[in-house]
Amino acid sequence: MSGGSAAAADDARNAGASADTGTRSNAHAAAPRALVTGASSGIGAATARALARDGWSVALLARRADALEAVRAELPAVGGAQHLAVACDLRDPAAIERALQQVAERYDGLELVVNNAGLGYRAKVDELDPELLLDTFRTNAVAPFLVCRAALPLLRRGRAPVVVNLASVVGRRGIPGQTAYAASKAALCSFSEGLRVEWADEDVAVCTLNPALTATGFFEAQPNPSGLPDPDLAGAAGPEDVAAEVLALARHPKPERSMRAKWLALTALGLFAPRLADRLLAKRLGGGWRAPRR
Ligand SMILES: NC(=O)c1ccc[n+]([C@@H]2O[C@H](COP(=O)([O-])OP(=O)(O)OC[C@H]3O[C@@H](n4cnc5c(N)ncnc54)[C@H](OP(=O)(O)O)[C@@H]3O)[C@@H](O)[C@H]2O)c1
């Protein structure tokens, strides 16, 4: 599979160089096509911009129609690329079906699906609101299942198609004060692993990307009922750094990529020496967290 997507994207761009781009079928010929969820801000918007600069047609999904349209309107249309904004609440399975139908009306295949939309939740377990807990799992874990399911007919018609699931370093290592968020991302990591093998027969490459701390509006958007301290964003990655990793995976799919080696080491340590991993985590987090005494 490695290199196949790059070749598909190059083929598509070459085909587009002489194509009239005004119709649905020519949009197919003109540019590789991507669907990016959560494209109204942060990493998703940066990914849409990076893809458009690289000659892709991009379908942008999120709830805020105005913000989504603002991102779409500024995307360059390279080589006849056609972008579309589809307002969709990914917590609603019927809305996902409708959104993918809208995408299918414009693109007759997809080379890339980026499951990026996500919601943080900073709260201790005893203060979790059941509805917000369900929202966290619906957005971060259930929606990628349903988006992939609905996108499969389009992926089957794509050239060397790739799915990139945006999980998190905390999806591989549970973390206090964010258990709901981390567990929803762990579910996404597991989904990604299973799907990767399940879709081998479909020839769809499935990648998991685990960003670490990234400076976006994520921390303002997340419910935080008792004002647990947010991390210091000094030294955080920028959304463009994560977008560059998405593009790299679209070109050369890899099963999983973690953007912070220290978290990868902590994940591995947790399997073999969980008490030591807990101690290191509590020390690293600060903020009054302590390693368990027993
Ligand atoms: N920032 C970090 O430090 C960090 C670290 C690791 C992983 N990540 C992951 O990276 C991804 C992007 O996060 P970000 O940092 O770019 O945060 P962000 O700026 O808050 O972006 C989140 C995006 O998800 C969309 N979204 C949320 N709920 C949705 C829903 N119900 N339906 C449709 N769209 C929805 C939002 O759009 P609307 O509000 O318009 O719906 C927005 O476009 C997330 O999956 C996040 O978990 C972030």
Candidate of 86, 88, 116, 189 to mutate for ligand 1, largest count of ligand atoms within 8 Å of Cβ: 116
Q: Is 67 in the pocket of ligand 1 (CB under 6 A)?
A: yes
Mean pLDDT, rounded, of the chain: 91
- Nearest partner of 145 among 103, 100, 101, 182, judged by Cα: 100
Q: Are 115 and 165 in contact (CB under 8 A)?
A: yes
From residue 236, how far is each of 5, 80, 121, 215, 240 by CA, in Å?
30, 35, 19, 6, 12
Position 41 pLDDT exceeds 90: yes
In angstroms, the CA 224 to CA 131 distance is 14
In angstroms, the CA 141 to CA 133 distance is 12
User: Residue 30: what pLDDT?
Assistant: 72
Q: Is 43 in the pocket of ligand 1 (CB under 6 A)?
A: yes
Q: Active site includes 107?
A: no
Position 13 pLDDT exceeds 60: no
Position 118 pLDDT exceeds 50: yes
134: left (phi over 0), alpha (psi -120 to 50) or beta: alpha
Pairing of strands 112-115, 33-37: parallel
Candidate of 60, 61, 63 to mutate for ligand 1, largest count of ligand atoms within 8 Å of Cβ: 63
What are the DSSP E strand ranges found in the chain? 33-37, 57-62, 84-87, 112-115, 162-166, 205-210, 256-258
Question: In the structure, what pLDDT confidence band is assigned to residue 286 with cuts at 50, 70 and 90?
Answer: confident
- Nearest partner of 200 among 163, 146, 151, judged by Cα: 163
Position 292 pLDDT exceeds 80: yes
Torsion of CA 156, 146, 39, 240, to 10 degrees: -70
Position 28 pLDDT exceeds 90: no
59 CA to centre of own chain: 14
> Tens of pLDDT along 88-99?
999 999 999 999
Domains identified in the chain and CATH numbers: 4-259 (3.40.50.720)
> Tens of pLDDT along 227-276?
998 889 999 999 999 999 999 999 999 999 999 999 999 999 999 999 99
From residue 97, how far is each of 48, 148, 172 by CA, in Å?
21, 11, 30
- Nearest partner of 289 among 124, 172, 121, 136, judged by Cα: 124
Q: Is 76 in the pocket of ligand 1 (CB under 6 A)?
A: no
Q: How far is the CA of 270 from the centre of ligand 1 (A)?
A: 27
Q: What percent of the chain has pLDDT over 70?
A: 90
Pairing of strands 205-210, 162-166: parallel
- Looking at the CA of residue 237, tell me the nearest atom of ligand 1: 3
Q: Which residue has the higher pLDDT, 68 or 231?
A: 68
User: Residue 15: what pLDDT?
Assistant: 33
> Tens of pLDDT along 126-154?
999 999 999 999 999 999 999 999 999 99
Q: How far is the CA of 129 from the centre of ligand 1 (A)?
A: 20
Position 22 pLDDT exceeds 80: no
Q: Which amino acid is at 165?
A: N
Nearest CA to ligand 1 atom 20: 218
Q: Which amino acid is at 151?
A: A
User: Residue 287: what pLDDT?
Assistant: 84
Q: How far is the CA of 17 from the centre of ligand 1 (A)?
A: 34
In angstroms, the CA 106 to CA 82 distance is 9
User: Residue 5: what pLDDT?
Assistant: 46
* Residue among 56, 181, 191, 218 flagged as catalytic: 181
- Looking at the CA of residue 213, tell me the nearest atom of ligand 1: 3
> Tens of pLDDT along 216-228?
999 999 999 999 9
